[in-house]
A and B are shown apart, each in its own frame.
Chain A
Amino acid sequence: MPSVEYLSETLVWDTETREYTDPDTGETTTYDVEVEQRPFEVRISKWLERDDGYHLHGFVEVTPFGQQLAAESDPFAWVTDTYETASGVTETVVSEWLRGVGAVQASKLTEILSFGGVDAMDATITADETWRMDFEVVLSGATTFDIEWLTVNFDPNRGGN
């Protein structure tokens, strides 16, 4: 039973055209499906308990869709409100904000992560690449934290069977 679960919120839907081949007639038709688009993702890769609390290791990564957004010279009309950070800071130029996620400085981490119920005792960046930032955060117990469009539920008591 996983002890970390992700709940994604609907944000942007794009339309993809797919093909379907009828197995009986061999006729191929196309149809459109809606596909969720997410500019970046947060993932928890592992966790362990030490004397000072639960150490969660994870990363924030800008998706190809997010990189595409960041490359746009003009912000999308819909992003001005949507791209509000967890601490309530709204960037009006989304490309700058996304670049900040991809190449985040230590001070940015507090804007990206917001913890409910449990204080983050420590948060450090362990690796910083162009579109990805690895981090380690120490928690005192079960918690839920949000990074835009993705909620991570962490509960150490749900590990194992």
Chain B
Amino acid sequence: MAQVGDTITYTFSDGSSVAEDISNIDEIEIDYVDGPGGGTAVGTGGAGGRVENVVADVSESSTLYIWVGGAGGSTNTRSGGAKGIGRYDGGDGTSGAYDGSAGGGGTSEVSLQNTEASDSATEPFIAAAGGGGGGDGDAITGGAGGARGRAISEGNSPPLGGVGGGGNAEGSVDGHSGTQATITGSGTTVSGGGSAAEKNGEIQVTYKQSVPDAPSNLNAEVQ
């Protein structure tokens, strides 16, 4: 269970979500969500995207789900590199006549629901960063990075999160909107600001408790 004052760093393990008990938490500050890098082939994979400094009111929620995306697979053979896994997987690399292309990184994401990918259109994610694109092979573009992320704020369309390098530079799926959390600080996104090529993603979250409203008589004049 996350405790007030904890700053937890989430690292890539197997692409599945970590369910964090936030029953005692009112507010979270997502220090950063780093998308993973793409794999490297002839060309170097692209860096993942980054979303940082997102603040959300989670007082009505009891569980936070965190996915940390894995880097795309590199290759130095004719075979394509494997896709990186994450909330949404990156694209597989492609076989080449001599040199295959590398896989794209998966998506890193923080959400209030452990939804299936098919529910992505309505998924209430809070922040997400796409994976980097895979490096080129011989005349073959690298695998696409995972879905591009956005930091959500109601009524706004913040910049896209992850943009990879390599052949197919950008993520294959746009970020999606909709959230159950009240985003009080929408944060910023940095294309290519996440993990470098061949590096897994990482997420850091600080757990907080809201400061209670001041008593109404606090400023009452002393009689």
Contacts and interface: CB of A to CB of B under 8 A. Distances in A.
B180 interface: no
Interface in A10-50: 18-23, 31, 33, 43-50
A21 to B, nearest CB: 8
Q: Bin chain B's interface residue count.
A: 20 to 34
B199 A2 contact: yes
Interface in B1-50: 6-14, 18, 31-32
A49 B7 CA distance: 7
Nearest to B36: A2
Given A46-B8, A48-B6, A2 B13 contact: no
Given A1-B202, A2-B195, A48 B7 contact: yes
Contact of A31 (B14, B32, B78, B202): B78
Interface string B188-218: 0000000110011110100000000000000
Given A33-B79, A45-B13, A2 B7 contact: no
Given A43-B13, A44-B13, A58-B13, A1 B195 contact: yes
A161 B144 CA distance: 24
A1 B196 CA distance: 8
Nearest to B199: A2
A2 B12 contact: yes
Contacts of A20: 78, 95
- Max chain A C-beta neighbours (<10 A), residue from B32, B77, B95, B199: B95
Prevailing SS type, chain A contact patch: strand
B79 A3 contact: no
B95 A2 contact: no
B97 interface: yes
Contacts of A48: 6-9
A44 B14 CA distance: 9
Interface in A50-104: 50, 58-59, 61
Nearest to A161: B32
B17 to A, nearest CB: 10
A160 B8 CA distance: 11
A58 B18 CA distance: 11
Contact of B11 (A19, A44, A49, A59): A44
Nearest to A18: B79
A44 B6 CA distance: 18
A159 B195 contact: no
A159 B201 CA distance: 11
- Max chain A C-beta neighbours (<10 A), residue from B9, B31, B77: B9
Given A43-B13, A43-B14, A58-B13, A2 B8 contact: no
7 contacts: A2-B199, A45-B11, A46-B8, A48-B7, A50-B6, A160-B204, A161-B32
Given A2-B202, A160-B204, 19 more contacts: A1-B195, A2-B12, A2-B195, A4-B11, A18-B79, A20-B95, A23-B97, A31-B78, A33-B77, A45-B11, A46-B8, A46-B10, A47-B8, A47-B9, A58-B13, A156-B9, A159-B202, A159-B204, A160-B31
Interface of A: 1-4, 18-23, 31, 33, 43-50, 58-59, 61, 156, 159-161
